[in-house]
Amino acid sequence: MSNYDQLHRQCRTLENQFDSKLTSYSQLVSTLVRERKGDLEATGSMDRWKDLERELEELLEKLEEANEQLSKLANNPELLSPAMLRTIQRHREVCQDNARELRRTRTNAQNALDQADLLKGVRNDIDAYKSSAADALLAERGRIDSSHRMTDDILQQAYETRSEFSRQRSTLTSINGRMLHVISTMPGVNNLISMIRTRRRRDSIIMGIVIGVCIITLLTYMWH
């Protein structure tokens, strides 16, 4: 459990750092394209671009290592809850998405730079549009990623709440069996059994309300 918590926090930190640097990387490419089209000295921007690229590759490598360790933990599912296994799967999917996004962004960046060298002075108006569109897409991607993380957190809380109520229900079922045995030998137990059953119904209602509120909150957020 301690290893899982540590690796989970490490993955979340690396994912956030990767998203931030990937955004800076994409924005810097847009600046670099404009500089090269204007025949300006772009050495500083080129150096910073390469530095960001190396940093992204290092972050991705660390993220892959952390996910590999989480996968080893997942090989023993009896030690982890279903919510933990789903979180491990989500981290693995985010890591794969980040790897694809880095490759795609790097390819698009290089294509944009090559195109700028060939078509300098011809596409100034289009550059302004592409820059604003790229910024809007990056901002939208950030909002979508934030929404996904919030959704994951809400679902994980709901699953953990459901698991807790399931454990309580198992405990109450066991108690009920023992009480049925006691009722045949002790007078005045019927009132106690009635109270326990009332509490079970209340717990079931509370569990339904909690899960319903979580689902409604999630759907409301995603709709807006």
Domain boundaries in the chain?
A: 1-121
In terms of Cβ atoms closer than 10 Å to its own Cβ (0-12, 13-18, 19+), residue 59 is: buried
Q: Is pLDDT at 154 greater than 60 in this prediction?
A: yes
- Residue 121: what pLDDT? 60
36: Cα separation from own chain's centroid: 37
In this predicted model, what pLDDT tens digit does every residue of 13-51 receive, in sequence order?
A: 999 999 999 998 888 877 777 766 555 455 567 778 888
Per-residue pLDDT at 40: 46
Q: Which pLDDT tens digit goes with each residue over 77-98?
A: 777 888 888 998 999 999 999 9
Query: Which two structure tokens, joined as six digits, stand for 16?
Result: 């956030």
Token pair 């290092």 in the structure block, residue: 58
Question: Rounded to two decimals, what is the model's pTM?
Answer: 0.47
At residue 158, the pLDDT reads 74
Evaluate whether the domain defined by 1-121 bears CATH number 3.90.660: no
Residue 113: is its pLDDT beyond 80?
no
pLDDT at 12: 93
Mean pLDDT of 199-209: 84
Residue 199 or residue 41, greater confidence: 199
Q: Which long-range contacts (CB under 8 A, 24 or more apart) does 99-106 make?
A: 99/60, 99/64, 101/22, 102/22, 102/56, 102/57, 102/60, 105/22, 105/25, 105/26, 105/29, 106/53
Identify which of 97, 78, 94, 66 has the alpha carbon closest to the alpha carbon of residue 4.
Answer: 66
Work out the pLDDT band at 10, boundaries 50, 70, 90. Answer: very high
When pLDDT is cut at 50, 70 and 90, the band that residue 142 belongs to is confident
User: What does the block give as tokens for 68?
Assistant: 């590999």
DSSP 183-221: HTTSTT-HHHHHHHHHHHHHHHHHHHHHHHHHHHHHHHH
Most confident of 62-76, 118-132, 133-147, 159-173: 62-76
Distance of CA 43 to the CA centre of its chain: 36
